Amino acid sequence: MSTLNLLASFLALAGWIALALFGFQALKKRPGAARKAGAAAATILVGTLAFYATDRSGTAASPSVKAAAPQPAAPAPATASAPYIDVQAKVTGPYTVEFAADTNLPDGAVLAVDLGLADQKPDDVAIGTGFERFVVSGGKVSGTIDGTRRVMPANSTLPAGTYDVEVSFHPLWEENRALATHLKIDDSLVGTDRVELAASGESAAVAQMREQNQKWVMANVGAGTPWNESDYVRRFGTYKELRLESGNPDVLKMYYFPDLDMTFMVNVLKNEIAVWRMGKAHR
């Protein structure tokens, strides 16, 4: 028990003793003393009860004072939106696409826009168009992509298929570096939309196979490579012999492979390839 509680108990005991003594005097018919005894006892009892109430709660109770209502937490400060590019594209012809992009990048940001065959693997030959530059103005860029220009691979024609219209912000471009540093953009930001192009009508699978085979020829065939007719037919299909326009036709033959779209000049005396050409060639 605490010291304060002991003191309260002593005061209560003293009050009851005083009440008993003065009550005894009242019994001797001294009403004034009885009244004094009652007042003293009441004072001591009220003080004691008030003390206990204060000791339990830490403050005296007051019916007119209400606890303050809890205040709502201050809202968190708003954060800036992450940079984005939202693209919408519409086919307007066999090779053409109109696009419109919305972005929260500031005016002056330079974006690259291109068209690429969808779902190509990293080691596939890229099929599509080279990029064009567009400058953001009022949070927008728009224009037309012509699939007959800047075609990849060079001198090829786009096949029919699904294409990604890609609009991208490259932070390492010289014209974008200061802006990228200010906005803390470290990686390229890309927005895409997909379209179906009729293009040449040739299937994308056939075009991809041709591009892969051409890539193999460029990496493995040169002047002096042995001519193995059966192996080349197995790889690239049947060939057609074209007219030779320069050289001895008894020594040099021009073999064109339609599925490969390449021509080999073959020295039949040495049984080796002299040179290869893209498309049909006569010399």
CATH code for the domain in which residue 119 is found: 2.60.40.10
> Has residue 82 got a pLDDT over 70?
yes
Q: Do residues 93 and 192 both lie within one domain?
A: yes
pLDDT of residue 77: 44
When pLDDT is cut at 50, 70 and 90, the band that residue 12 belongs to is low
Kindly report which listed range (17-26, 143-152, 214-223) carries the lowest average pLDDT score. 17-26
- For residue 70, being part of any structural domain is answered with no
Task: Encode 100-139: b = buried (16+ Cβ within 10 Å), e = exposed.
Answer: ebbbebeeebbbbbbbbbeeeeeeebebbbebbebebeee
Q: Do residues 130 and 26 share a domain?
A: no
Domain boundary among 197, 229, 244: 197
Does 69 reside within a domain? no
Give me the mean pLDDT over the 226-242 stretch: 96
**Residue 27: inside a domain, yes or no?**
yes
How far, in Å, CA of 222 to CA of 235, rounded?
Answer: 17
Q: Which of 29-33, 193-197, 214-218, 259-263 has the lowest mean pLDDT?
A: 29-33
The tally of CA atoms less than 13 A away on the side-chain side of residue 218 is: 10
263 and 241 in contact (C-beta within 8 Å)?
A: no
The closest alpha carbon to 173, from 111, 265, 113, 85, belongs to: 111
Answer whether residue 168 is part of any domain: yes
Q: Inform me whether the pLDDT recorded for 276 exceeds 60.
A: yes
Instruction: State CA 67 to chain mean position distance.
Output: 49
Residues 191 and 228 in one domain: no
Give domain status of residue 254, yes or no: yes
| The pair of three-digit structure tokens given for residue 47, joined into one six-digit string | 């003080």
pLDDT tops 90 at residue 73: no
Query: Each residue of 86-110: pLDDT tens digit?
Result: 999 999 999 999 999 999 999 999 9
Q: What is the mean pLDDT of residues 43-53?
A: 48
Beta-strand pair 252-257/240-242: antiparallel
- Say what the pLDDT of residue 248 is: 96
Residue 207 lies inside a defined structural domain of this protein:
no
How much of the chain, in percent, has pLDDT values that exceed 90?
A: 68
Domain that holds residue 228: 221-278
What is the reported pLDDT for 283? 94
206: pLDDT strictly greater than 50: yes
Separation of alpha carbons 200 and 118, rounded Å: 16
Residues 90 and 191 in one domain: yes
Asked if residue 228 belongs to a domain, the reply is: yes
- 261/226 same-domain check: yes
Q: Give the pLDDT confidence score for residue 17 in this predicted structure.
A: 55
Tens-digit pLDDT profile for residues 108-142: 999 999 999 999 988 888 999 999 999 999 999 99
* pLDDT number for residue 14: 56
What is the per-residue pLDDT for 35? 52
What per-residue confidence (pLDDT) applies to 124?
87
**The pLDDT value given to residue 191:** 98
Do both 272 and 182 map to the same domain?
Answer: no
Could you give the number of structural domains in the chain? Answer: 3
As a whole number, the mean pLDDT across the chain is 83
Q: Is the same domain home to 249 and 166? A: no
pLDDT > 60? residue 27: no
Same domain, 115 and 50: no
pLDDT at 242: 97
192 domain residue, yes or no: yes
Boundary-marking domain end, from 15, 41, 57: 57
Q: In the prediction, which pLDDT does 229 show?
A: 96
Same domain, 176 and 92: yes
